[in-house]
Structure 1
Amino acid sequence: MRTTFFAATAAMAGAATAAAANHRHAHHMFAKRGHAASTGFPIAATGEVCLPGCTTIWKTITGEATLIPNKVTTVTSTSTNTSTVIITSVPTAVSTPVKTVPTVPTTTVVVAPTPEVQRCPTPGTYTFPATTMTVTDTTTVCGATTTKVPAGTHAIGGVTTVVTTLTTVTCPVATVVTSGGVTTSTIRMTEYVCPTAGTYTIGAHTTALSTETVIVYPTPTIIVPGTYTKPQIVVTATETNYVTVCPYTSSGLPTSTPTPSPVSTSAPTPAPTSSTATPSPVAPSSTASSSAAPSSSAAPSSSSAAPSSSAPAIPGNSKTEVKGTNDHFAITYGPYDSSSGACKSASQVKKDISEIKAAGFQAVRIYGTDCDTLVNVVPACVSHGLQIIAGVFVRPGGQCSIENPEVKKQVDDLVAMNNWEAIRLLVVGNEAIMNHVCNASQLAKLIVDVKAQCSGFQGPVTIAETLNIWQQTDVSSAICPLVDVVGANIHAFFNPNVDAAGAGIFVKGQMDILQGICNKNVINLETGWKNEGPCNGKACPGAQDQAKAISSIRKTCGDASVFFSFDNEGWKPQDDQRWGLTNIFFSQ
């Protein structure tokens, strides 16, 4: 069963930060973008949805939303510590210390284990009780999540995607209905038409804030059958209106996720492939060494890509976390000369790493083992107390297998180095599915094989893909059980509706969506902003805009982000050269 309504645990102080349209570079050992040669547009499809200026059909499928009277959270306790929770959404939900009162019966609410957003109005200690519930049917609900934003006007919410042709889309949209002072979050299945190629967003809202505010907003979430438990949580609030999220954990769920019913769409011409995440048309890269461009001829036979909530939530261990203790956790680094691309000397690498340490970074992401990376970069990082996010790169055109000589050499190099204590996270592939290097099952097997070969490494393992790749059900069902955290490359610059000041909200919104796909924590493995070049809609490069964008990302999710990149890279194609963060973090 797919429900079309659920009363969220907290009302929107703003709407959902966008579901993703984020395209990243396809890498030649690190950072080169690919495009569809046949169209001139980057191919993508995050959850085929569209927004301002494209709506030629607006049809609400589920009818009018059902409203719930304004009531406080109610709990009925039993001797087995199992209770039924019914939560309504109000504009300023306020949590108070635990009270047990009779449950109010209703037949209009589908009870589901969405995260409960609780607000502590004044400093003090608050206790939120344990709750257990059982879900028997697959259900689409309005989940709740939060993000902190500074004062100002913010465009929040909506779902963004890129299409390369006329496409009709049917998707679940989280929306809010207010009547008689009661605000209710609902899911509505809605049909849209994107008339031409381009980037579209639907459901976005604009809100003006006079002070820094924690925004609580609904997001579409698919809940699969199983038993869910929210443990008792004791929170000590040290400020007024402190917001905390009480999540549910799952148990007894199936090891594979059922595929949701197909999305009904109609378009006179085939829709774009759902295998990339490019949010806007940009000029294709001309370099011979860049990744193979995604081709529309390789698109699956489907008239639309999956919507942003198409990947059902998959149970997993959500406790593993890869993040720092400041607002700029890690940075990408390649030991290549910024002009020629030649391998740097050991002394040059040491100088670079010392600057990274001085700038306050806590980890360095490397993409492979070429250019004596394990010989020069790793020891330099260790000497400065920096952790390594190591990578096993699968080159476009190569075999997605441990039998690939290039892949095998990288794994053998890591094993021979035998310095697993230095590695914080191991990343298998970089946008390998997006660039058609691997399919989901091939990448899953490669993860298993790399883990087996690197048995001495006891830390977390993940992949690096864009949001829309993670949203594909074949990817999430195959990969979620094998990774410890969800790794994604998230670049706000490639969304033409996002300016530099809004980059942080966009990136955090993408991470919030990713969190629900595997029920695991998220690490943003690539994020940045260009310092020179042409504008992409509202996204304009330049020193000032780059500074604004990086500052915005640092405020919202810098502790779980890897910033891209250490320096400009003049040896790459022109469009890929100007991502260096020298002016932001390092001395000239």
Structure 2
Amino acid sequence: MKLLVLASLLCSATAQYWKGMNVGANNPDGSCKSQADWYSVFTTLQGLPGGYNSVRLYATSDCDTLANAVPAAISTGMKILVGVWTQDRAHFDREKGALEWALGRYGSDWILAVSVGSEDLYRKETSAARIAEQIYDVRGMINYLGHPKQVGHVDTWTAWVDPANRDVITACDFVGMNGFPYWQGATIPQSSDVFWKSYDDTKRAVDSVKPGIWIWMTETGWPVTGDSFGASVPSRSNAQQFYKIVACEAFKRGHVFWYAYQDYTSNPSFGVVDANRNPIYDLSC
């Protein structure tokens, strides 16, 4: 009986974590995803080995992302980590407006959380003070509308360990960490240690400012095709190995959003699903 209770508790703890995928608003041919396209994305992800229960989106207004994705999410039971684009002020206002519209139309049960910005600090496109201000702005809006959710920011681990960005950590309810051993020139045998060092360094930096808030693993993956980066070599077999040694462990430790659903034209290409919506490599754990 004790073993059954323990197993139940362990399963319950695991179920608290979101297993997600990064999905862009555009189809591989550049066209915007329709509601039917989003429905296909969500049902495909749910049918993959182990099943995905959530997605991370980058914007709200671009390609009418929320207008098309939310009805499909509600009909399939998929949850969304909403992305609010922060550049420039007019674009930011459109993003807030699209989120406000979606909340008014559909409520908020489909929302996991809201990320204000994505790798803005890494690209040095804005200041930490400005991102913090936008986080408070979006949080204030959704609270006023009666739909309180966690609001944070997604950036590279290198941005989170930079003391210049402490104001953003202070503003966040959660921190989204992007970490790619491929872009650090790691080999596959090195990749797990490199990834978890990035995670640990992020957690240490975040805890020094705001102890206890969650670190979400919002982007990681390994390319299947493209140019090598240092000792990092894209291939299906390497992507497969990276998934087995990093994804399968990460899914046990916290919220994870793998990168990426489809990615045909980039060099390197990180896509895990082909044109027929079949896995390019084994996604089982």
| TM-score of the alignment, normalized to the shorter chain, above 0.5 | yes
Within a 5 Å distance, the mapping from 1:115-194 to structure 2 comes to: none
Within a 5 Å distance, the mapping from 1:314-463 to structure 2 comes to: 325=15, 329-338=19-28, 340-359=29-48, 360-369=51-60, 370-395=62-87, 398=88, 404-418=89-103, 419-455=107-143, 456-463=146-153
Cα distance per residue 1:392-443 (max 9 Å; x no partner):
1123xx3xxxxx1111111111111113221111101111112122111111
The alignment-based identity, stated in percent, is 20
Name the amino acid aligned to 1:531. V
* Residue matched to 2:234: 541
Using the TM superposition, give the Cα deviation of residue 562 of structure 1 relative to its aligned residue in structure 2, in angstroms: 0.7
**Correspondent of 1:524 among 217, 225, 244:** 217
TM-score, with length taken from structure 2: 0.81
Q: 1:324 to 1:356 in 2, by over 3 A?
A: farther
Say whether residues 1:575 and 2:270 are aligned partners.
no
| Bigger proportion of residues as strand | 1
* Residue matched to 2:180: 491
SS at match of 1:575: coil
Name the amino acid aligned to 2:126. C
Q: 1:422 to 1:328 in 2, by over 3 A?
A: closer
On the 8 A contact 2:155/2:177 being kept in 1, the answer is yes
On the 8 A contact 1:394/1:437 being kept in 2, the answer is no
On the 8 A contact 1:504/1:555 being kept in 2, the answer is no
On the 8 A contact 1:567/1:581 being kept in 2, the answer is yes
Q: 1:485 to 1:328 in 2, by over 3 A?
A: closer
On the 8 A contact 2:39/2:76 being kept in 1, the answer is no
The 2-side partners of 1:533 and 1:518 are apart by 34
* Residue matched to 1:550: 243
* Residue matched to 2:283: none
Cα distance per residue 1:37-79 (max 9 Å; x no partner):
xxxxxxxxxxxxxxxxxxxxxxxxxxxxxxxxxxxxxxxxxxx
Using the TM superposition, give the Cα deviation of residue 327 of structure 1 relative to its aligned residue in structure 2, in angstroms: 8.7
SS at match of 1:375: helix
How many aligned positions are there? 255
Q: 1:237 to 1:420 in 2, by over 3 A?
A: closer
Using the TM superposition, give the Cα deviation of residue 237 of structure 1 relative to its aligned residue in structure 2, in angstroms: 9.1
Cα distance per residue 1:2-26 (max 9 Å; x no partner):
xxxxxxxxxxxxxxxxxxxxxxxxx
Say whether residues 1:470 and 2:160 are aligned partners.
yes
Name the amino acid aligned to 2:237. Q
**Correspondent of 1:481 among 170, 175, 183:** 170
Name the amino acid aligned to 2:57. I
Cα distance per residue 1:452-493 (max 9 Å; x no partner):
1222332211111112211222312x1222211221111111
* Residue matched to 1:137: none
Using the TM superposition, give the Cα deviation of residue 446 of structure 1 relative to its aligned residue in structure 2, in angstroms: 1.2
Q: 1:328 to 1:415 in 2, by over 3 A?
A: closer
SS at match of 1:464: strand
* Residue matched to 2:10: none
On the 8 A contact 2:260/2:270 being kept in 1, the answer is yes
The 2-side partners of 1:443 and 1:561 are apart by 23
For the pair shown, the structure with the greater C-alpha radius of gyration is 1
The 1-side partners of 2:36 and 2:259 are apart by 22
Cα distance per residue 1:148-204 (max 9 Å; x no partner):
xxxxxxxxxxxxxxxxxxxxxxxxxxxxxxxxxxxxxxxxxxxxxxxxxxxxxxxxx
TM-score, with length taken from structure 1: 0.41
- Please, what is the CA RMSD of the aligned residues? 2.5
Name the amino acid aligned to 2:56. R
The 2-side partners of 1:545 and 1:462 are apart by 32
**Ranges in structure 2 where 5+ consecutive residues have no aligned partner:** 8-12, 208-212, 280-285
**Ranges in structure 1 where 5+ consecutive residues have no aligned partner:** 1-123, 125-235, 239-322, 399-403
Using the TM superposition, give the Cα deviation of residue 537 of structure 1 relative to its aligned residue in structure 2, in angstroms: 2.5
SS at match of 2:26: coil
The 1-side partners of 2:46 and 2:35 are apart by 16
Q: 1:382 to 1:502 in 2, by over 3 A?
A: farther
| Bigger proportion of residues as helix | 2
Name the amino acid aligned to 1:331. M
The 2-side partners of 1:469 and 1:375 are apart by 31
Q: 1:529 to 1:327 in 2, by over 3 A?
A: farther
The 2-side partners of 1:423 and 1:346 are apart by 17
